[in-house]
Amino acid sequence: MDQRLDARLREIPPGGLHDLVTKISAIDEFKGWWEGRGLSDPSLLRHLKKRTVEISAAASLRIGGSDRPHMEVRGRLGSGVRNREEPDAAHRTGYAELLRAIFNDHRELCFGQDLILQFHATLLKYSHAGQAHRGKYKMTSDTARSYLCRKMESPALRSTDPDLTPRAMTVATEWARTRLASTNFHPLLVIAGFVLELLAIRPFVNGNGRVSRILTNFLLLQYGYTFVPYASLENVIADRWPEYYLALRQSQAHAHLPRPDITPWLSAFLDAIRMQTRDLRAAIEWRPDASLLSENQLGVLNLLERNAEVTNRLVCSELDIPKDTAKQVLNRLLALNFVRRVGSGRAVRYRKAPLQDEGGKVK
């Protein structure tokens, strides 16, 4: 089976190879730019990481309706908004908790089936409907609506039978582990190939899409793409979901042919990461370099790390500077978009300026 997975990357049609190489080069160029930039504003990075977790958890709910937890219980609970709130909240909480842990602790984690099962268990930790199968491969065939789809779709698009799933996951995981450790293929292609195989196997009753995106973040971080925690890949996928899903299904349909062609998937996968790098570059370049700020200006930003907002009086007191100096410092930070003014007159106060939203606009 590992030869079959190798063949998918070796048999890339010449017409698509140049495009893939161009996209990989652009991503790796950004990777080098990010590593060499030497960002000197740790508070900005903390804000970006926190915001990425929040955006990614919310965006995950917009990706692939069949993977959303409220679909599991809709028939039993009804379709009202109130009934959807609890499973949606469980989805967001589990996703945010796991993504945050991966961003912080990915160096200590070892890729393998045990880790994949652990990820799945964490994702469904807060899901009442998922408790019976969290952290376990599927034990029964697809049922209900998915069963009907299974009967109608091409055999090439059907998920792996439950009794064959553990073996299929063993082969796919071992292939990814050995190929990532070698120089046979570029790591981005290996990660994309593994995610494609995981989504073809669909090893879990639900949460397969979430697991695939979590693993994508994790593997990118493990193999040197350290910019991942600072812009949301999930948000990019959610915004491009129809074309992303179409590329996935096209490639799954052609993956088992004598001359497999998974170029649509590889292209969509790399496009998503390129969009992620563009979002991050825009967020970074929008903010002035904190290394150019004065000691008093940095002191105000440090105050804002400990307080939701500051006043001219608080700045005078904490930094031991005159009132006029404090006013000049705050006005300079205001002009540089580091802070924003709230209120007027004696009630004026200052808060840290929000980061750009995912569309590049100030939020």
Dihedral sign for Cα atoms in the order 41, 42, 46, 52 = positive
Q: Where are the beta strands (DSSP E) in 16-143?
A: none
Q: What is the pLDDT of residue 145?
A: 47
**Do 251 and 264 touch, CB atoms closer than 8 A?**
yes
User: Do 312 and 301 contact (CB within 8 A), yes or no?
Assistant: no
Rg over CA atoms, the chain: 24
Q: How far apart are CA 28 and CA 264, in angstroms?
A: 20
Which of 1, 64, 4, 24 shows the shortest CA–CA distance to 262?
Answer: 4
Q: Where are the domains of the chain?
A: 2-286, 290-352
| Whole-model pTM over 0.75 | yes
pLDDT, residue 260, reads: 93
Cβ contact 95:61 at 8 Å: no
Separation between Cα atoms, residue 123 and residue 115, nearest integer Å: 12
Q: How far apart are CA 132 and CA 136, in angstroms?
A: 9
DSSP 157: G
Report d(CA 221, CA 102) in Å as an integer. 9
* The two three-digit tokens of residue 295, written as one number: 């000691």
pLDDT tens digit string along 224-273? 999 999 999 999 999 999 999 999 999 999 998 889 999 999 999 999 99
SS3 annotation, 68-81: CCHHHHHHHHCCCH
Instruction: Show the low-confidence residues of the chain (pLDDT under 50).
Output: 66, 68-82, 144-145, 147, 356-363
pLDDT at residue 75, rounded to an integer: 42
CATH class of the domain at 290-352: mainly alpha
Domains 2-286 and 290-352 share a fold: no
The fold of the 2-286 domain, in CATH, is: Fic-like fold (1.10.3290)
Tokens representing residue 239 in the block:
């915004």
Return the C-alpha torsion angle 328, 329, 331, 336, nearest 10. 140
Q: What is the pLDDT of residue 138?
A: 95
H helix count then E strand count, the chain: 16, 2
Is-contact 23 271, C-beta < 8 A?
Answer: yes
pLDDT of residue 70: 41
d(CA 214, CA 95): 8
Whole-number pLDDT of residue 85: 67
Residue type for 110, please? C
The one-letter amino acid at 37: R
For residue 352, list its beta bridge partners.
339
Closest of 115, 114, 119, 116 to residue 94, by C-alpha: 119
